Amino acid sequence: MATGLFVILDDVAMLLEDAALMSKVAVKKTVGLLGDDLAVNAEKAIDFPATRELPVIWAITKGSFVNKIIILPIVFLLSSFLPELIVPILLVGGSYLSYEGTEKVFEWFSRYSTKAGVVHQSLKETGKTQTEATKIKAAIRTDFILSIEIIVITLETVIDQVMPVQIMVVSLIALLATVGVYGFVAFLVRMDDVGLYLIKRSLLLTGLEARGFRLCGEVLVASLPKIIRILTVIGTVAMLVVGGGMFVHNVDTVHSVLFFLPSLVADLVSGLVVGASLVMGLSKIQSVLNR
């Protein structure tokens, strides 16, 4: 009886060891996508009044956990029984991300163009009238698409492992994608509060220590608006790169056409082409329906 127990414990230990090893490999393979995930979701979660930032981030975080709970079993089932459906699902997600990213690009151009088109103007007006609940739902939708990509790539990394190892590794990366990303975003949106605390703290100190606290506080307060602007740009580019990458890496024709470009540029170009086609196509449909 004792021998049987030791055998079971030894098997469990080996599974955990394999899971730990493959988790390191999976992190290396998905680190770029996790970075894109951070940029996209940070950009989605920071455009709120200061008093609503943390409640909104918590709402998006809960939605992200629900996304993972939904996606994980579906991806495992599809991988086992209908693997041919995974690529079409990725392409649908890529289309959505490309569309969202291109909308943002059109918004930027409409702000600086004196002759903005109908599509640009309608996008601008839509952005103004979005409610907090609408923005949260949009952020959770984007998280859903990115989560599919992260989970599928992670699963491909451990596809030759036994099912328990696959489940542990993929679940760990999925958890990391939510806790790591939104934990960092929560810290980011409170940078100015930390800075103000350090400045107030410096008033109670003297000498070099006071100057150090004040300098750190001023840097944090001054940096937040710049970081938010940078993340807005990076998040939009990341959506286009991730969305376009789904086509470049899964559609041979697209890969053949853009083979001469560096990988990142090819993904970006693909995302812009797909996104612009969808924006223009939907705009035409909307015009016809309005008439």
In 82-131, which ranges are continuous DSSP H helix? 86-112, 118-129
Buried b (16+ CB within 10 A) or exposed e, 109-124: ebeeeeebeebbeebe
In the chain, where the domains are located: 2-290
- Residue found under tokens 């008033």: 203
Gyration radius of the chain over CA positions: 23
DSSP string covering 241-291: HHHHHHHHTT-HHHHHHTTTS-HHHHHHHHHHHHHHHHHHHHHHHHHHHH-
| Calpha distance 127→146 (Å, rounded) | 22
pLDDT at position 289? 83
Q: Which amino acid is at 112?
A: Y
| Calpha distance 150→203 (Å, rounded) | 46
Per-residue pLDDT of the chain (291 residues), as tens digits, is 445 544 454 555 555 555 556 556 555 655 556 666 677 777 777 667 777 888 888 999 999 999 999 999 999 898 888 888 888 988 998 898 899 889 888 888 876 554 444 444 444 444 444 688 888 898 898 889 888 888 888 887 787 777 887 888 888 888 888 888 888 888 888 888 888 889 988 888 888 888 898 999 999 888 888 887 887 788 888 889 888 988 998 899 999 999 899 989 999 999 999 999 999 998 888 888 887
| Calpha distance 150→152 (Å, rounded) | 6
